[in-house]
């Protein structure tokens, strides 16, 4: 949201540290590491300690600025663990050097590389002092460390010099497609989670709270969805390949405020919920369900955080490549199939050519349908197919239904409970404000709904809920009546809540006592 202080200046979170109640306050500008250090200070442990939070139900809570707020009566339980000294500084130093070599291959992620290397170098220096190396060895290691820093600086400088003109012309150009298939981690890189029956059932609900899950847990939940729907059996997917596919997808979502991997998980989980809620397996094939789920997983891959309007107005590389026609959505498709072109990640490697051709066409159609510029066209087409009766056996009708379903899931945050949906509004406004700030700086047109000087949280949501979300979900409810109570009604409640918020914000403040006295005197 850029500068969110006008909406939510600070957050207060209550903690339980070994039975002692503590309270921390932080700005939404803080990073996850800042919050970690703040909790470590409150707990009286070093900043290098491992910190984890659990809520009253025992669920892990993510350490990031968007963590759910709690109350003094339900503090988060803090668990900390100090790191143990490693044996063999020569081994540590060798590991650092090997990590530096791999970092040079990540030339497009210089900032992440700098942060990672700085952290590792700091850890090495600390470990050398702990182990009490001889003065000569320490000096030698420090000289080597200095050389490493110089090499990183020179590599960064050459990269910046080489790409400066391109960056000035296209500040949000995409990463090279060729790099998308490079999986940086291999399995097993995250533990296997055993899901309780309660979690399995909760995962099928539109009320599912996506903020309580760490990235590795989200990967496991995605795996469960594909297994439970029978997609692994349908496409004869190697379970290890499925893990690699999800890992590679996760690595190719950027750390944007809104369009990130958690948004990908959120959209996919809502589709999974709608499949169960509407019993879609009764009107669609398992191949159709696989296309829906995979399209949700891939629908915003490598999103740069700036929308199509910016891409076109700024004449970015993506806009030029795709001739101003849905540049982002076309790019998401290209990255998705670049990932699938890697045999290690190709979950459709075992289907025949005709099946893959249908899958590719279906996923492409659905991802391109998420371009909101096509909203009116798709909804008008869908309404026509509802009259006089929807024909599930007609391919064109079924394709239109699938396009509407992924659109519903893509913008479904307000269907969820307020404590789940409202942080997403903050994330979206942050991304909007980042874009409008850049547009002002570059002299490009600025959309009023993105301008931090004109938009508020209620004004951003009321019109969108009233004129886009409610009409769309009401139309889908004509086919699946259960949606009216489970999805349309929560949207009406959200609309009323934001209208009340807007009314309260527009009310003038009550006059102070001094103003009252002055008015009486003047009369």
Backbone angles phi, psi at 478, to 5 degrees: -65, -30
Bridge partners (DSSP) listed for residue 14: 23
Distance CA 170, CA 158 (A): 19
Out of 170, 259, 303, 332, which one is annotated catalytic?
Answer: 259
Distance CA 36, CA 186 (A): 27
CA-to-CA separations, 174 to 125, 250, 319, 484, in angstroms, rounded: 36, 16, 11, 40
If DSSP codes are grouped into helix, strand and coil, which group holds residue 205? Answer: coil
Bridge partners (DSSP) listed for residue 20: 17
Bridge partners (DSSP) listed for residue 81: 50
Tell me if residue 259 is catalytic: yes
Which of 52, 50, 120 is closest to 83 using CA atoms?
50
Distance CA 204, CA 218 (A): 14
Strands 11-17 and 20-26: antiparallel
Distance CA 426, CA 440 (A): 21
Distance CA 498, CA 508 (A): 18
Q: Find out whether 79 and 51 touch, Cβ atoms under 8 Å.
A: yes
Distance of CA 237 to the CA centre of its chain: 26
Distance CA 130, CA 75 (A): 35
Strands 60-61 and 20-26: unpaired
Could you identify the residue written with the tokens 């982002």? 328
Query: DSSP label at 507?
Result: S
Here the tokens at position 517 are 């006295």
Q: Find out whether 82 and 133 touch, Cβ atoms under 8 Å.
A: no
Q: What residues are annotated to the active site?
A: 259
């Amino acid at each position: 949201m850029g500068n969110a202080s006008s909406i939510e200046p600070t957050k207060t979170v209550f903690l339980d540290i070994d039975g002692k109640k503590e309270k921390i306050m932080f700005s939404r500008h803080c990073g996850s590491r800042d919050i970690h250090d703040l909790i470590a200070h409150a707990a009286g442990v070093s900043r290098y300690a491992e910190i984890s939070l659990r809520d009253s139900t025992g669920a892990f809570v993510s350490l990031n600025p968007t963590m759910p707020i709690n109350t003094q009566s339900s503090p988060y339980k803090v668990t900390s663990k100090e790191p143990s000294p490693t044996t063999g500084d020569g081994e540590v130093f060798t590991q650092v050097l090997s990590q530096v070599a791999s970092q040079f291959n990540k030339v497009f992620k210089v900032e992440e590389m700098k942060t990672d290397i700085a952290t590792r170098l700091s850890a090495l220096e600390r470990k050398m002092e702990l182990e009490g190396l001889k003065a000569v060895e320490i000096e030698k290691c420090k000289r080597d460390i200095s050389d490493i820093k110089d090499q990183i600086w020179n590599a960064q400088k050459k990269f910046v010099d080489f790409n400066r003109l391109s960056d000035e012309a296209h500040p949000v150009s995409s990463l090279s497609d060729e790099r998308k298939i490079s999986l940086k981690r291999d399995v097993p890189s995250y533990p296997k989670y055993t899901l309780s029956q309660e979690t399995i059932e909760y995962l099928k609900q539109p009320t599912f709270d996506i903020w309580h899950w760490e990235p590795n847990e989200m990967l496991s939940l995605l795996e469960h969805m594909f297994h439970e729907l029978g997609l692994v059996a349908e496409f004869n997917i190697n379970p290890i390949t499925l893990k690699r596919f999800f890992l590679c997808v996760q690595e190719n979502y950027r750390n944007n405020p809104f369009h990130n991997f958690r948004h990908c998980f959120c959209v996919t989980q809502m589709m999974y919920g709608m499949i169960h809620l509407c019993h879609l397996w009764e009107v669609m094939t398992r191949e159709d369900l696989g296309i829906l789920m995979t399209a949700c997983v891939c629908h915003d891959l490598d999103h740069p955080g700036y929308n199509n309007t910016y891409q076109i107005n700024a004449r970015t590389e993506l806009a030029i490549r795709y001739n101003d026609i849905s540049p982002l959505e076309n790019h998401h498709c290209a990255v998705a199939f670049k990932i699938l072109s890697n045999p290690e990640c190709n979950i459709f490697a075992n289907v025949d050519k005709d099946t893959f051709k249908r899958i590719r066409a279906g996923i492409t159609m659905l991802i391109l349908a998420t371009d909101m510029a096509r909203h009116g066209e798709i909804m008008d087409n869908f309404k026509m197919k509802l009259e006089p009766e929807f024909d599930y056996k007609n391919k064109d009708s079924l394709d239109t239904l699938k396009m509407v379903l992924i659109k519903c899931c893509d913008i479904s945050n307000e269907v969820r409970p307020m404590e789940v949906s409202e942080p997403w509004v903050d994330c979206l406004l942050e991304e909007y404000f980042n874009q409008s700030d850049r547009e002002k700086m570059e002299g490009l047109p600025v959309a009023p709904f993105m301008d931090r000087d004109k938009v508020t949280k209620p004004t951003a949501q009321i019109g969108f809920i009233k004129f886009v979300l409610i009409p769309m979900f009401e139309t889908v409810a004509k086919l699946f009546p259960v949606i009216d109570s489970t999805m349309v009604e929560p949207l009406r409640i959200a609309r009323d809540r934001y209208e009340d918020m807007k009314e309260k914000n527009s009310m003038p403040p009550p006059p102070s006592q001094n103003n009252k006295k002055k008015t009486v005197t003047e009369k």
